[in-house]
Structure 1
Amino acid sequence: MAEIITMGEPMVVLIPQEEGPFAEVGLFSKGAAGAELNVAIGASRLGHSVRYISRLGRDFLGEYLLEVMKREGLDVSAVSTETDRLTGFYFKTKVPSGDPQVFYMRKNSAASGLSPADVTPERLQGARFFHLTGITAAVSASCLQACRRAKVLAREQGLQVTFDPNLRPALWRSEEEMISSLNGLAEGCDYILPGVAEGRLLTGCDTLEGIADFYLERGVKAVIVKNRSEGAYYKTAAGECSRIPGFHVKRIVDTVGAGDAFSVGVLTGLTEGLPLSEAVRRGNAMGAIMITSAGDNDALPGREELIRFMEEAEV
Structure 2
Amino acid sequence: MLKDSVTFGEAMVMFVAGQPGPLKDIDTFIRRLAGAEVNVAVGLSRLGLSSGWISRLGEDAFGNYIAEYLAREQVDIHGITHDSRYPTGFQLKSKVLEGDPQVQYFRKGSAASSLGEADVDSGYLTGFRHLHMTGIPPALTKSTRAFAYAAMETMKGAGRSVSFDPNLRPSLWSSKEEMRAVINDLACRADWVLPGIEEGEFLTGSRDPQKIADFYLNQGVSLVAVKLGPEGAYFRTPNEEGTVQGFKVKKVVDTVGAGDGFATGLIAGLLRGLSITEAIRQGNAIGSIAVQSVGDHDGYPTKEELKAYLHYHLTGVRTR
TM > 0.5 fold call: yes
1:195 is aligned with what amino acid? G
Query: TM-score, normalised on structure 1?
Result: 0.98
Q: Which residue of 1 aligns with 2:250?
A: 250
Answering whether residue 262 of structure 2 is matched by residue 262 of structure 1, we say yes
Tell me, in whole angstroms, the C-alpha distance in 2 between the residues paired with 1:153 and 1:22: 42
Tell me, in whole angstroms, the C-alpha distance in 2 between the residues paired with 1:2 and 1:107: 33
Q: Which residue of 1 aligns with 2:82?
A: 81
Aligned residue pairs total 314
Contact 1:2/1:75 (<8 A) preserved:
no
Q: Which residue of 1 aligns with 2:5?
A: 4
Matches within 5 A, 1:217-236: 217-236=218-237
Q: Which residue of 2 aligns with 1:177?
A: 178
Tell me, in whole angstroms, the C-alpha distance in 2 between the residues paired with 1:2 and 1:237: 28
Tell me, in whole angstroms, the C-alpha distance in 2 between the residues paired with 1:95 and 1:253: 7
Tell me, in whole angstroms, the C-alpha distance in 2 between the residues paired with 1:191 and 1:245: 20
User: 1:136-162: CA deviations, max 9, x gaps?
Assistant: 111111111111111111011111000
Q: Which residue of 1 aligns with 2:168?
A: 167
Aligned residues with identical type, % of pairs? 46
Q: Which residue of 1 aligns with 2:113?
A: 112
Query: TM-score, normalised on structure 2?
Result: 0.96
| Deviation at residue 120 of structure 1 after TM alignment | 2.3
Greater mean alpha carbon deviation, residues 1-10 or residues 261-270 = 1-10
Instruction: Provide the secondary structure at the position in 1 that maps to 2:95.
Output: coil
Contact 2:198/2:207 (<8 A) preserved:
no
Q: Which residue of 2 aligns with 1:206?
A: 207
Contact 1:51/1:74 (<8 A) preserved:
yes
Structure 2 unaligned segments of length 5 or more: list them.
316-320
1:291 is aligned with what amino acid? V
Greater mean alpha carbon deviation, residues 168-177 or residues 229-238 = 229-238
1:113 is aligned with what amino acid? S
Answering whether residue 281 of structure 2 is matched by residue 281 of structure 1, we say yes
User: 1:47-87: CA deviations, max 9, x gaps?
Assistant: 01111110000000001101101000011111000001000
| Deviation at residue 206 of structure 1 after TM alignment | 2.1
Runs of 4 or more, structure 1, over 3 Å off, are none
Instruction: Provide the secondary structure at the position in 1 that maps to 2:87.
Output: coil
Structure 1 unaligned segments of length 5 or more: list them.
none
Query: How much is the aligned-residue C-alpha RMSD, in angstroms?
Result: 1.1
Instruction: Provide the secondary structure at the position in 2 that maps to 1:96.
Output: coil
Tell me, in whole angstroms, the C-alpha distance in 1 between the residues paired with 2:189 and 2:97: 41
Q: Which residue of 1 aligns with 2:64?
A: 63
Q: Which residue of 2 aligns with 1:309?
A: 309
Tell me, in whole angstroms, the C-alpha distance in 1 between the residues paired with 2:106 and 2:56: 16
Tell me, in whole angstroms, the C-alpha distance in 2 between the residues paired with 1:34 and 1:244: 27
1:45 is aligned with what amino acid? R
Contact 1:130/1:160 (<8 A) preserved:
yes
Q: Which residue of 1 aligns with 2:300?
A: 300
| Deviation at residue 314 of structure 1 after TM alignment | 6.6
